[in-house]
Structure 1
Amino acid sequence: MSKKIIIAIDGFSSTGKSTIAKELAKKLEYAYVDTGAMYRAVTYYAMENGFVGLEFLKEDKLIENLKNIKLNFRYNEKLKFSEIYLNGKNVEREIRTMEVSSLVSKISAISAVRKMLVKQQQEMGKERGIVMDGRDIGTVVFPDAELKLFMTASAEKRANRRYKELLDKGNDVSFEEVLKNVQERDYIDSTRKDSPLKKAKDAVEFDNSNMGLKEQFERVLSIAERCIAKY
């Protein structure tokens, strides 16, 4: 019987990393960790305690209180995915608001926050058998992961996917606006000083510009199964 491995999935925004990671974890019966939810939960904590807002950031106060933040994921049998808990409370719904979305970039840029969450993410992977997606999983969190995938697609393709998602949710946006946002996020992710987005040297690059979800999943699953078979 093959041993369980760590699967690290990194890549640009709107490449479908989380969707593929969730399905892969479910198929392999591995744990799935949404690192984005962790940064959102810290942002929610900062909001609730008055440490961050659109016009301010009390970075020192947040850093002082990081020791009071406890995060963990619990599998919801009914929903068939893991939900994030902040200090024992399920905050899955609270962290998905537009307010959190507008503030999370401020919080995720704080080095002390990234250091704390990377440490927690590494603890979660000690037993292997985990699929984790983000921006720095294969380069910083699990540089020794047995399988690293780097998801990419053209900015136009990603913007089109995001544009359709937003329209389906009733948002009044233009394609040009969404494309500009995708390009700006690419630049920020790739050039930030702390843990920039970059492809690990031993990562498998996966361009899904011209693939549907079914084809993407089948190809990624095949790559994962071949890797697992080696161990």
Structure 2
Amino acid sequence: MDGPAGSGKSTVARCIAEKLGLLYLDSGAMYRAVTLLAIQEELAADSPKLIDSVKACHIEFMDNGRTILLDAEDVSKQIRTPAVNRLVADVAKIPEIRHEIVKHQQRIGAEGSIIAEGRDLTTIVFPNADFKFYLDASVTERAKRRLADLHAQNIDATLAAVEAEIRERDEKDTTREHSPLRTAPDAVVVDTTDKTIEEVVDLIIAHVCANEQ
């Protein structure tokens, strides 16, 4: 499952994982964890030292993706801060970092059935996936969702600032040289703008059940 920031991928994927008994893989959280690592170690996105740190670190998901461990430390809240939001696209576009993260994602996928979401899962990481979905929504709707998440974490922000940040992130994600965000030709596109989480989840599960072999 791929799509831009705020399209609902994480929440939808987690719900589907719970309903279908699948392992939930949040690829975005992995890049956020690496971005946090860069901030903590005061390293540039393209620093060789950061790439070495990515190779050496261990990222683990617990509680159906709600808890993210970076080298055994719970960083679930730290990876959702504005500081990480601003830098994650720059870190995620580094080919060597993507290469290491993709290898880890593919190892997880090889262990059994999963539902994975991100920006290059249907095109690069799992091009032969049984089911592919691309979730999208209007920029304004996505900004409202992200703003609500930030306020829930007691992080002060404005809708205008969050919308500008999302537009910038979209530009970086879709134009980066390596593994840009795009819709796989065989992906089912779902516009979540006017849909509830439950509606999107039911729609996807219905499609899977109707087409499962």
TM superposition score category, shorter chain reference? 0.7 to 0.9
The one of 48, 65, 68 equivalent to 2:53 is 65
- Which residue does 1:96 correspond to in 2? 80
Distance (Å, rounded) in 1 between the aligned partners of 2:145 and 2:37? 31
Distance 1:98 1:159 in 2: 13
Instruction: State the SS of the aligned residue for 2:69.
Output: strand
1:178-214 superposed Cα distances (whole Å, 9 cap, x missing partner)? 3333222222211111110000011001112221222
Kindly state the Cα deviation for residue 169 of structure 1 after the two structures are TM-superposed: 5.0
1:115-163 C-alpha deviation (Å, 9 max, x unpaired): 1000100110003310111000000000000000000122233233334
* Offset at residue 172 of structure 1 (A): 4.8
> In the superposition, relative to structure 1, how do residues 90 and 178 fare at CA in structure 2: closer, same or farther (>3 Å)?
closer
Q: For residues 168 and 83 of structure 1, what CA distance do their matches in structure 2 show? A: 17
CA spacing shift, 1:167–1:208, aligned 2, 3 Å? same
Give the alignment of 1:47-62 within 5 angstroms.
47-52=39-44, 57=45, 59-62=47-50
Q: CA–CA distance in 2 between the matches of 1:72 and 1:19?
A: 18
How far apart in 2 are the matches of 1:180 and 1:138?
27
Which is strand-richer, 1 or 2? 1
* C-alpha distance 85-180 of structure 1, shift in aligned 2 (>3 A): closer
Determine helix, strand or coil for the equivalent of 2:132: strand
Task: Give the aligned partner of residue 149 of structure 1.
Answer: 133
The equivalent residue for 1:16 is 8
Bigger Rg, which one:
1
TM-score, normalization: structure 2? 0.88
Establish whether residue 29 from structure 1 lines up as the match of residue 29 from structure 2.
Answer: no
Distance (Å, rounded) in 1 between the aligned partners of 2:149 and 2:66 = 22
Matches within 5 A, 1:197-212: 197-212=181-196
TM-score, reference length from structure 1:
0.82
- Counterpart of 2:93, as a letter, is A
Structure 1 segment 43-192 matched on structure 2, within 5 A = 43-52=35-44, 57=45, 59-73=47-61, 75-76=62-63, 81=65, 83-167=67-151, 169-192=153-176
Within the alignment, does 1:39 sit opposite 2:31 as a pair?
yes
Q: Distance in 1 between matches of 2:55 and 2:149?
A: 37
Q: AA paired with 1:22?
A: R
For residues 89 and 152 of structure 1, the distance between their equivalents in structure 2, rounded to whole angstroms, comes to 32
Q: Retained in 1: the 8 A contact 2:119–2:180? A: yes
Of all paired residues, the percent bearing the same amino acid is 36
Which of 181, 188, 197 pairs up with 1:213? 197
Question: Which runs of structure 1 show a deviation greater than 6 angstroms over 4 or more consecutive aligned residues?
Answer: none
Q: Which runs of 5+ in 2 are unaligned?
A: none
Give the root-mean-square deviation of aligned CA atoms. Answer: 2.2
